[in-house]
């Protein structure tokens, strides 16, 4: 009885741990995919929603930090490989690896710059998707 309860407790604990994956089920697990949206649609949502609009705007601004970090990381590690190792395949791999690491570090910097750790990022994305779903359904009706 004790072991059984312990095992059930562990299962519940890990189910709670992996509950963040439900977001991907809601976004990608649809019967019919949503039509593609444009930047204008996103800007319309940002202007219309007073709670999740600024969060989504900050999240989109974070992409610039990630891109900048990728450029810096790729240039730095690729430069080191080019200066010391001088192997062409090594330079290519080092540039790619540096870009990935730099993008992650840039995203982390953006998270602290815009204080995204205080927001619900998955909630903001889901709110936009529900808004877009309603808009598309309304357009189909009219």
Partner 1 sequence: MASRLVARSRRGLALALSRAGAGAPSRPSPPGLGKTLGYEPTSHLHGAQFLPCWFSTIASNGSHMQKAQETCKPVAGMEHSDALKVMEGTSPKVVAFSPLEAAITKPRSSPLTIESSKVKRSEIATLVTFYMIPSLLVSSKNGLATSILVGAVFHQIYMFHKEIFLDYVHHDITRKWALIYFKLLLLIMAKETIVYFNFI
Q: Which residues in this chain contact partner 1 in the complex, by CB under 8 A? A: 9-10, 13, 17-20, 73, 76-77, 80-81, 84-85, 90, 94, 97-98, 100-102, 104-105, 108, 117, 122
Instruction: Give 57 or 121: the residue with its C-beta nearer to partner 1.
Output: 121
Tokens representing residue 16 in the block: 């709670």
Q: Residue 82 or 136: which CB sits closer to partner 1?
A: 82
Contact between 69 and 105 under an 8 Å Cβ cutoff? The reply is yes
Find the shortest distance in angstroms from Cβ 114 to partner 1: 16
Which is closer to partner 1, CB of 58 or CB of 77? 77
Please state, in angstroms and rounded to a whole number, the distance separating the CA atoms of residues 21 and 9.
20
In degrees rounded to 5, what are phi and psi of residue 86? 65, 20
Closest approach of partner 1 to the CB of residue 128, in Å: 18
Tell which residue, 78, 69, 77, has the closest CA to residue 103.
69
Q: For residue 73, is it left (φ>0), alpha (ψ between -120 and 50) or beta?
A: alpha
Q: Which is nearer to partner 1, 3 or 40 (CB)?
A: 3
Q: Rounded to the nearest 5°, which phi and psi values hold at 52?
A: -90, -15
Tell me whether residue 54 or residue 96 sits nearer to partner 1 (CB atom): 96
| Measured distance CA(120)–CA(25) in Å, rounded | 17
Work out how close the CB of 53 gets to partner 1 at its nearest, in angstroms, rounded to a whole number: 21
Q: How far is the CB of 135 from partner 1 (least distance, A)?
A: 27
In the complex, least distance from residue 9 CB atom to partner 1, rounded to whole angstroms: 5
């Amino acid at each position: 009885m004790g072991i059984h309860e312990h095992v059930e407790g562990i299962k519940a604990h890990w189910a709670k741990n992996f509950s963040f994956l439900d977001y991907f089920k809601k976004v990608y697990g649809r019967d019919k995919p949503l039509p593609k949206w444009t930047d204008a649609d996103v800007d319309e949502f940002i202007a219309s929603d007073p709670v999740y609009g600024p969060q989504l705007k900050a999240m989109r601004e974070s992409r610039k930090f990630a891109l900048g970090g990728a450029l810096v990381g790729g240039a730095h590690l690729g430069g080191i490989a080019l200066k010391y190792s001088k192997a062409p395949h090594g330079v290519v791999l080092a540039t790619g690896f540096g870009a990935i690491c730099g993008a992650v570090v840039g995203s982390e910097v953006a998270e602290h710059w815009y204080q995204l750790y205080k927001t619900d990022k998955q909630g903001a994305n889901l709110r936009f998707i529900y808004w877009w779903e309603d808009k598309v359904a309304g357009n189909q009706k009219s």
